């Protein structure tokens, strides 16, 4: 579904956010990106959802070289990708139904979109999506009156209405409590599996990544440090990935505990 070949992204101030990254993600695959803050994960996501273009290298979506697409073709390609952001990106003063139906904007005309603000179109689709995320009763609630976790579910429902081929979730649970974080990650995994969508998620929580994803990609300094199944992710690999974030021995013990709790079979310490 996604193929990056020696992709580099350098911003105008000279910051190298992604540096010679090569990676392939298959159609229907579920992949978690982990790594320290500033590793380049969010920039990588903006490349994958086609809101940024690489400075150099080749990015392909389903075999199409993004650099060769016209503006119209690029807009069509973006409609195939649904993104869930940490900040939700909802319009708080609007009702939930309007925010969920925003998933249709890529295929609605401007006139239809404006008319839907007055009299919502395809309400049944919004109702079904909200039922899938567990809050059907919030259809007509004002969005800024919802809790952070409920707003994240609205954002997920919006992507379900969009019905993309791939879902990219950038730190979708960083602002919710641990129990709700587990629910949201499991929900996204299950919904993607049912509809055979590609799911790529940036996660700050290493234990959630190990528990719910069959493929873990460690990103550091804009490069892939490792690309492994959960059972091959060791405390040594995690300590190298997050080097500098904490005292080395304390960090190693913390990762040993995470690996133990997650139930992942890991290499024994020497």
Question: Residue 240 sits in a domain of what CATH number?
Answer: 3.40.50.300
Query: What pLDDT does residue 262 have?
Result: 59
Please tell me whether residues 15 and 109 are part of one structural domain.
no
Please tell me whether residues 10 and 93 are part of one structural domain.
no
Q: What is the total count of domains within the chain?
A: 2
Please tell me whether residues 188 and 205 are part of one structural domain.
yes
Residue 65 CA to residue 69 CA, distance in Å, equals: 7
Residue 228 CA to residue 203 CA, distance in Å, equals: 15
Q: Compute how many other C-beta atoms are within 10 angstroms of the C-beta atom of residue 150.
A: 20
Q: Compute how many other C-beta atoms are within 10 angstroms of the C-beta atom of residue 262.
A: 17
Q: How many residues does the chain have?
A: 270
Query: What pLDDT does residue 29 have?
Result: 96
Q: Is 187 in contact with 130 (CB distance < 8 Å)?
A: no
Query: What pLDDT does residue 248 have?
Result: 45
Which of 163, 192, 217 is the C-terminal boundary of a domain? 163
Please tell me whether residues 128 and 66 are part of one structural domain.
no
Please tell me whether residues 44 and 174 are part of one structural domain.
yes
Which of 117, 148, 163 is the C-terminal boundary of a domain? 163
Please tell me whether residues 116 and 27 are part of one structural domain.
no
Residue 48 CA to residue 140 CA, distance in Å, equals: 33
Please tell me whether residues 10 and 106 are part of one structural domain.
no
Domain span holding position 34: 1-80+169-270
C-alpha pair distances (Å), 137 with each of 67, 116, 128, 163, 175: 44, 20, 11, 22, 23
Please tell me whether residues 115 and 69 are part of one structural domain.
no
Mean pLDDT by 10 residues, the chain (270 residues): 95 93 96 93 93 94 91 90 87 92 81 76 90 93 92 92 93 82 91 93 92 96 95 91 65 61 44
Q: Hunting for tokens 């649970």 — which residue is that?
A: 173
Q: Compute how many other C-beta atoms are within 10 angstroms of the C-beta atom of residue 240.
A: 13
Please tell me whether residues 194 and 227 are part of one structural domain.
yes
Please tell me whether residues 72 and 99 are part of one structural domain.
no
Please tell me whether residues 16 and 59 are part of one structural domain.
yes
Query: What pLDDT does residue 249 have?
Result: 45
Nearest to 30 by CA among 177, 204, 199: 199
Which of 98, 131, 163 is the C-terminal boundary of a domain? 163
Query: What pLDDT does residue 268 have?
Result: 33
pTM of the model: 0.85
C-alpha pair distances (Å), 232 with each of 150, 211, 267: 35, 13, 7
Query: What pLDDT does residue 270 have?
Result: 30
Residue 66 CA to residue 52 CA, distance in Å, equals: 10
Please tell me whether residues 199 and 266 are part of one structural domain.
yes
């Amino acid at each position: 579904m996604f193929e990056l070949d020696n992709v580099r992204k350098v911003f105008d101030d000279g910051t190298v956010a992604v540096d010679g990254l090569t990676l392939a993600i298959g159609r229907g695959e579920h992949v978690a990106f982990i790594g320290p803050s500033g590793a380049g994960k969010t920039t990588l996501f903006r490349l994958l959802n086609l809101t940024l273009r690489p400075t150099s290298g080749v990015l392909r979506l389903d075999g199409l070289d993004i650099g060769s697409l016209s503006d119209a073709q690029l807009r069509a390609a973006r409609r195939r990708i649904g993104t869930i952001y940490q900040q939700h990106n909802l319009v708080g003063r609007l009702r939930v139904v309007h925010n969920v139906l925003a998933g249709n904007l890529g295929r609605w005309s401007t006139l239809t979109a404006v008319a839907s603000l007055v009299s919502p179109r395809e309400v049944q689709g919004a109702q079904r999506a909200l039922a899938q995320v567990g809050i059907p009763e919030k259809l007509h609630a004002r969005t800024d009156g919802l809790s952070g976790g409920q707003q994240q579910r609205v954002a997920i429902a919006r992507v379900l209405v969009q019905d993309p081929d791939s879902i990219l979730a950038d730190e979708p649970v960083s602002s919710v409590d641990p129990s709700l974080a587990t629910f949201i990650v499991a929900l996204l995994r299950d919904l993607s599996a049912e509809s055979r969508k590609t799911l790529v998620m940036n996660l700050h929580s290493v234990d959630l990544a190990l528990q719910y994803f069959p493929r873990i990609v460690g990103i550091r300094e804009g490069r892939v440090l490792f690309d492994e199944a959960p059972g091959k992710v060791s405390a040594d690999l995690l300590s190298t990935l997050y080097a500098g974030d904490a005292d080395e021995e304390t960090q190693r013990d913390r990762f040993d505990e995470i690996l133990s709790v997650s139930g992942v079979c890991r290499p024994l310490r020497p």
